[in-house]
Amino acid sequence: MQRWAGRVAMVTGASSGIGAAITKELVKNGLKVIGMARRVENIEALSASLQSAAGQLYPVKADLTRENEVCSVFRWVKSNLGGVDVLVNSAGVASANSLIDGPVEKWKHILELNILGQSLCTKEAIQSMNERGVNDGHIVNINSVAGHVIPPINLPIYMYAASKTANVMLTEGLRRELLRTNSKIRITSLSPGTVRTDLPEASGLTDPYQDNPYLEPQDVADAVVYVLGTRPHVQVSELIIRPMGETRI
């Protein structure tokens, strides 16, 4: 990770859970990190706790479903920090809903954030790297085991799972597009199993942790550090991590 010290990273969904853990770890490793989320006050509180860290955290408020807000953040980064060298797409939403009954608004929110919002951030980050001649950047998409399997019949998260399956395709598609341009920018899909966060409660899902093993956000942050810390000729295109004994998905 030493080669990333002083470089600029952006983490979406940095206000809580996995995104907050990744943000904290990157700052501790000496990166300048733009933490992006709607609940910017949470990132500001995290920033205050990292005053003695090797890097620096820049809290930024933005809604990833609004293109103008996302582009405004990237313009700010260009003006103040030069540009983005690492992007961690951690923002995401899930909800319990039916493919028969909807509601459609929940479908739209999942697709707009998990697919379109992520793709917009990725596009802007790649453009930032290319216009500065950065050929060693890295994009990490925080995916899910739900993107690789069909959810259990009693777990109504098919639209969420579909968005994560799309994540697998988008990650591989970007890898191939970068390959065609002889770019050395790396792209990784990181798929954890069940992680203990506030996402299930906020999404109206039943408690997935009761009698089930789970990962902590720090476990995912450690995996991101591993991926970024591999030598430049190594591309971890897909990494799946699960809690020991997980059988739910």
User: Is the per-residue pLDDT at 208 higher than 90?
Assistant: no
* Catalytic hit among 158, 160, 209, 214: 160
What's phi and psi for 193, nearest 5 deg? -80, -150
User: Is the per-residue pLDDT at 207 higher than 70?
Assistant: no
Catalytic-residue membership of 214: no
Domain ranges of the chain: 2-241
pLDDT band at 152 (very low <50, low <70, confident <90, very high): confident
Domain spanning 2-241, CATH architecture = 3-Layer(aba) Sandwich (3.40)
Q: Which tens digit of pLDDT belongs to each residue from 70-82? A: 999 999 999 999 9
What's phi and psi for 56, nearest 5 deg? -145, 145
Contact 38, 60 (CB under 8 A): no
Query: Could you tell me which of 55, 31, 58 has the C-alpha nearest to residue 44?
Result: 58
